[in-house]
């Protein structure tokens, strides 16, 4: 069976992108990373992508002034040129227009470093510690126009330790991200995820609870 063609959208270091690239090196993985698209020409992840022989593209939003629709149209053109089936946002730090999001409904994934719907937005690890959360983690979800919302595909949790620092917690959550993003993309690429009433079903069953994953860091 031909593999799904995936574009990973990044703005920075691209460690989640790298995890997806690694997973897709296995020929039995149902998706291939066909394109890495960055809004920033200096994103570190572009170097990693090129080193892996993956096509890269840059749509630099700064060249478009305030015209968000034009930025999104340019991205759409690149995605179509590469015959992309699925888009994975991985540290892509731009809001997308509802029109663009609509074109990728249930075909665009995002990873967020918190157990959504808790801690949307930035500084999630600091806020989880300050709130006294006992569990924290990461979520892969389908993208909807509202930021950090949308049907949840997979979650992974870690225990918050009494003496945790933001950096230590972030590192443990990142290890979880690198495990759940390839796993969630696999489910989507295998057409095992459906969305009913705004919620994901996996093989027709509710998404399992966030598994608490043991991480070394
Ligand atoms: C990750 O924590 C991801 O969850 C968030 O942005 C960060 C990106 O890191 N959306 P990286 O570029 O994948 O290393």
**145 domain-assigned:** no
151-198: pLDDT as tens digits = 999 999 999 999 999 999 999 999 999 999 999 999 999 999 999 999
Q: What's the gap in Å between 10 CA and the centre of ligand 1?
A: 9
Residue 44 CB–ligand 1 contact under 6 Å: no
82-105: pLDDT as tens digits = 999 999 999 999 999 999 999 999
Q: Are residues 126 and 205 in the same domain?
A: yes
Query: In this structure, are residues 176 and 158 in contact, taking their beta carbons and an 8 Å threshold?
Result: yes
Q: Are residues 126 and 192 in the same domain?
A: yes
The whole-number average pLDDT for the span 139-153 is: 97
From CA 66, how far away is CA 50, in angstroms rounded? 30
The whole-number average pLDDT for the span 130-141 is: 97
Q: Are residues 117 and 75 in the same domain?
A: no
Residue 33, Cβ density class (10 Å: 0-12 exposed, 13-18 middle, ≥19 buried):
buried
| pLDDT on residue 210 | 86
Q: Are residues 60 and 96 in the same domain?
A: yes
Residue 12 CB–ligand 1 contact under 6 Å: yes
Here the CATH number for the domain that contains residue 67 is: 3.40.50.170
Residue found by looking up tokens 């389908």 in the block: 142
**What residue numbers bound the domain in which 24 lies?**
1-104
Q: Are residues 96 and 132 in the same domain?
A: no
Which pTM was predicted?
0.96
State which ligand 1 atom lies nearest to the alpha carbon of 12: 12
CA–CA distances in Å: residue 9 to residues 15, 123, 148, 179: 12, 21, 16, 18
């Amino acid at each position: 069976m031909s593999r799904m063609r995936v574009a990973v959208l990044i703005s920075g270091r691209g460690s989640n992108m790298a995890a997806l690239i690694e997973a897709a090196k296995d020929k039995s993985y149902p998706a291939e990373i066909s394109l890495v698209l960055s809004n920033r020409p200096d994103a570190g992840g572009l170097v990693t992508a090129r080193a892996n022989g993956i096509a890269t593209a840059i749509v630099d939003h700064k060249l478009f002034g305030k015209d968000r629709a034009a930025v999104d149209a340019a991205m759409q053109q690149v995605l179509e040129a590469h015959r992309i089936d699925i888009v994975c946002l991985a540290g892509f730090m731009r809001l997308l227009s509802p029109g663009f999001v609509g074109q990728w409904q249930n075909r665009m994934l995002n990873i967020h470093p918190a157990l959504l719907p808790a801690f949307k937005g930035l500084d999630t690890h600091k806020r989880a510690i300050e709130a006294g959360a006992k569990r924290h983690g990461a979520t892969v979800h389908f993208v909807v126009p509202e930021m950090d919302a949308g049907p949840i595909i997979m979650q992974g949790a870690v225990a918050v330790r009494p003496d945790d620092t933001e950096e230590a917690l972030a590192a443990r959550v990142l290890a979880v991200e690198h495990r759940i993003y390839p796993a969630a993309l696999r489910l989507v690429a295998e057409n095992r995820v459906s969305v009913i009433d705004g919620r994901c079903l996996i093989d027709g069953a509710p998404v399992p609870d966030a598994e608490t994953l043991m991480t070394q860091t």
